[in-house]
Amino acid sequence: MDALRLLTPEITITIFAFAIISLDIAWNDENKSRRILPWLAFAGGLATLLMIFYIWPHVDQYNYTAATDAGREVPMLAVDRMSLFFKMIAVLTVILVGLSAGEYVEKHTPFRGEFYGLMLLAGLSIMLLVSSTNLIMIYLALEFLSITSYILTGFLRRDARSIEAALKYFLYGALASGVMLYGFSLLYGATGSVDLATIAGSLETTQAGLVVAAVILMLAGFGFKIALVPFHQWSPDAYEGAPTPITAFLSVGPKAAGLAVLIRVMVVALPAFDVNWTPILSLVAIFTMSVGNLVALWQTNMKRMLAYSSIAQAGYMLVGLAAWSAAPPSAVAYLGGVDAIMLFLLAYMFTNLGVFAIAIILENQMGTSEIADYAGLIRRSPYLSVALLIFFLSLVGIPPTSGFIGKLFVFGAAVNQGLYVLALFGVFNSVISVAYYFGVLRNVFFEKGSDESPIRVGVAMNTVVTITVVMTLLIALYGQPFIQLAADSAQILAANF
């Protein structure tokens, strides 16, 4: 396929984003046509998704990663199955968040065009980031994602908390990207190139100290996006202050993007390099899981609790990467850790977006997101209560939910490589997480709430909750296609050896 056709998803989403922003300017506030803007964003997301499916069969899963820029159809962007998988996650996130944002946005801000336009652009930036094979592209796409996230986090300008959250996010983000750039500059100096594959080819073993330093510096940038401990301080504040649909977006989109780019850098630029990454990655994974889970225990605000819970979830995903780094090169294709991350991420996306959809519904109704206000939800909306139960079971990793399959694969990969301590930490952390998830559920099912009026759920919201519930169960009950999908997408790793 030629370059232009391989880039159709990116081109489609860009066109829709700018169309929405332009139409928003063209139609003044009284114009009734502005009501279609959210649906235009939805259509844009669907069109992009279709383009991804259209490209999928034509993409050779092996061909791209090993090739340097010169041999690639699209310079600096690898359109392989791994990047398409992450693009799919990005677009699905944008679609589901866009659908669940409707009422919230209408209630809180008159600027609908900017909201949906910027959200599509944030989706675009993730799509670019996950396929970047060049430090320049990685930097640009990462900054693109950061800048759109800052704006979206501060979107409720009337609300000081939203602006404050955005400012904190911004300060940490600018610092993280500066530190990351220093790492990039060291790699460039050592190899004279910014192309990942060329870097891999020209690194020498005498440069081990330098490479370790560069990776630690770069980890600041990627870890900031994924919210790994110790680069997570921004996330609870940003999650609490941001508009709730954006919190949902932040909890999935940037995490997926950061993981994808971390995987690509580790796998493509530093594959056969003679440094054992397992201790660094395991340590970060253990800290991320433990801090996330332990601090989540004390939270009283749903958004804040979910912030810490999603930090912990990112820690589980990192277990997969640690397992990959410990694997002998030949074992990467199946159960090698990376396919586990992808499967976990797929499950996590549906589950977490489902939880946030419920949080948005309740916030629309009650105006707060305190866990105490979830009391007596079972009497107000049995459907949402049961859905929440399923989502939380999935986040803990109890069958028959997708979270169980994800954790099974991630911890299974760790055990496969003999990382028993790491897997044990993972399981132990999952047990801790039961406490706070079930704390919410106890409120929902057994406490008596002050308000007994039934919860009204709109059509879009109902769709989101239903889709996420179905997918959360489907990945567990009929998992083979999804496992196959993840393994297929992770195949590029095998091509490197």
Partner 1 sequence: MIESIPLSYYLLLSATLFTIGAAGVLIRRNTIIILMCVEMMMNAVNLTFIAFSRFLDSATGQVFVFMIMAVAAVEVAIGLALLVELNRHKDAVDINQFNSLKG
Partner 2 sequence: MPFEIPFVQIVWWAMTACAIGGAIGVVSSNNLFHSALFLVLSLFGVAGYYVLLSAGFLAVVQLMVYIGAIVILVLFAIMFSRRMMKPTEDEMNRQWLVSVIVAAALFSWLIVVVNSVSWPVTSAAPTADTVLQLGLAFLGSYLIPFLVVGVLLSAALIGAIFLAREKVEAEEI
Residues interacting with partner 2, by CB under 8 A?
Answer: 14, 18, 21, 29, 69, 74-77, 107-111, 114, 117-118, 121, 124-125, 128, 134, 136-137, 140-141, 143-144, 147-148, 150-151, 154, 157-158, 186, 189-192, 206-207, 209-210, 213
Q: How far apart (Å, rounded) are the C-alpha atoms in residues 61 and 38?
A: 35
Would you say 171 or 216 has its CB closer to partner 1? Answer: 171
Smallest gap from residue 308 Cβ to partner 1 (A):
13
277 binds partner 1 per the rule CB under 8 A: no
Piece in contact with partner 1 (CB under 8 A), picked from 44-52, 73-81, 143-151, 261-269: 143-151
Residues 178-207, mask of contacts with partner 1 (x by CB under 8 A): xx-xx-xxx-xx--xxx-------------
269 binds partner 1 per the rule CB under 8 A: no
Q: How far apart (Å, rounded) are the C-alpha atoms in residues 417 and 338?
A: 13
488 binds partner 1 per the rule CB under 8 A: no
Number of residues counted as binding partner 1 (CB under 8 A):
40
Would you say 174 or 427 has its CB closer to partner 1? Answer: 174
Piece in contact with partner 1 (CB under 8 A), picked from 35-43, 89-97, 141-149, 248-256: 141-149
Would you say 178 or 400 has its CB closer to partner 1? Answer: 178
If you search the block for the tokens 């499967």, which residue do you land on?
343
Among partner 1, partner 2, none, what binds residue 75 when CB lies within 5 to 8 Å by partner kind? partner 2
Would you say 9 or 154 has its CB closer to partner 2? Answer: 154
Among partner 2, partner 1, none, what binds residue 14 when CB lies within 5 to 8 Å by partner kind? partner 2
Residue 478: partners with Cβ closer than 8 Å, 6 or more residues away: none
Looking at the DSSP bridge assignments, the partners of residue 195 are 134
Among partner 1, partner 2, none, what binds residue 129 when CB lies within 5 to 8 Å by partner kind? none
Among partner 1, partner 2, none, what binds residue 363 when CB lies within 5 to 8 Å by partner kind? none
The per-residue b/e assignment along 161-187, b for 16 or more CB within 10 angstroms, e otherwise, is ebbbbbbbbbebbeebbebbbebbebb
71 binds partner 1 per the rule CB under 8 A: no
Smallest gap from residue 307 Cβ to partner 2 (A):
23
Q: How far apart (Å, rounded) are the C-alpha atoms in residues 181 and 19?
A: 33
Identified binder of partner 1 from the candidate list 3, 136, 216, 470, rule CB under 8 A: 136
164 binds partner 1 per the rule CB under 8 A: yes
160 binds partner 1 per the rule CB under 8 A: yes
Among partner 2, partner 1, none, what binds residue 107 when CB lies within 5 to 8 Å by partner kind? partner 2
Identified binder of partner 1 from the candidate list 104, 170, 249, 425, rule CB under 8 A: 170
Would you say 167 or 473 has its CB closer to partner 2? Answer: 167
Piece in contact with partner 1 (CB under 8 A), picked from 163-171, 278-286, 326-334, 345-353: 163-171
Report the site for partner 1 in 206-265 (rule: CB under 8 A).
233, 236-237, 240-241
Binding residues vs partner 1 (CB under 8 A): 135-136, 139-140, 143, 146-147, 150-151, 154, 157, 160-161, 163-168, 170-171, 174-175, 178-179, 181-182, 184-186, 188-189, 192-194, 233, 236-237, 240-241
